[in-house]
Structure 1
Amino acid sequence: MMFVHTDTKSPTSPLRALSVLVFLLLLIHLCTGQSLIGSSQPIVATRGDDITLPCRLDPAEDVTDLTVEWTRPDLDPRFVHVRRSGQELVSKKHPWFSERTSLFINELKHGNISLKLSRVELSDQGTYTCFIPGKEKLSSVQLFVGKFIYNVYFTTSED
Structure 2
Amino acid sequence: MFPMNLLSIIAMTGFLLLMFTCKGEAQQTDSPQSVTVMVGEDAVLPCFLKPPKDATKMTVEWGRPDLKPRFVFVNLDGQEYSADQNEAFRGRSSMIPENLKNGDVSLKLSDVRISDSGRYRCYFPREKKEYFTELVVGKKITYSIKPFSSY
TM-score greater than 0.5 by the shorter chain: yes
Coarse TM-score class (shorter-chain normalised): 0.7 to 0.9
* Structure 1 segment 39-50 matched on structure 2, within 5 A: 40-50=32-42
**Following the alignment from structure 2 to structure 1, what is the Cα–Cα distance between the partners of residues 33 and 69?**
26
Structure 2 partner of 1:22? none
CA contact (8 A) 1:37 1:57 kept: no
Structure 1 partner of 2:46? 54
Shift of 1:37: 3.3
CA contact (8 A) 1:56 1:113 kept: yes
Q: CA RMSD in A?
A: 2.0
What does the per-residue CA deviation read over 1:60-96, in whole Å, with 9 as the maximum and x for residues that have no partner? 0111111010010000100000011221111221000
TM-score by length of 2: 0.74
Which stretch shows the higher mean deviation, 111-120 or 142-151?
142-151
Q: Secondary structure at the match of 1:90?
A: coil
TM-score by length of 1: 0.70
Q: Secondary structure at the match of 2:49?
A: strand
Larger helix proportion of the pair: 1
In structure 2, stretches of 5+ residues that fail to align are 1-27
**Following the alignment from structure 1 to structure 2, what is the Cα–Cα distance between the partners of residues 95 and 132?**
22
Letter matched to residue 68 of structure 2: D
Match of 1:115 among 77, 96, 107: 107
Structure 2 partner of 1:130? 122
C-alpha change, 1:107 and 1:38, in structure 2 (3 Å) is farther
In structure 1, stretches of 5+ residues that fail to align are 1-35
Identity of aligned pairs, percent?
A: 42
Structure 2 partner of 1:147? 139
Shift of 1:48: 0.7
Q: Secondary structure at the match of 1:57?
A: coil
C-alpha change, 1:121 and 1:38, in structure 2 (3 Å) is farther
Structure 1 partner of 2:79? 87
**Following the alignment from structure 1 to structure 2, what is the Cα–Cα distance between the partners of residues 50 and 39?**
23
* Bigger radius of gyration among the two: 1
Kindly tell me the number of residue pairs found equivalent between the two proteins: 122
CA contact (8 A) 2:33 2:132 kept: no
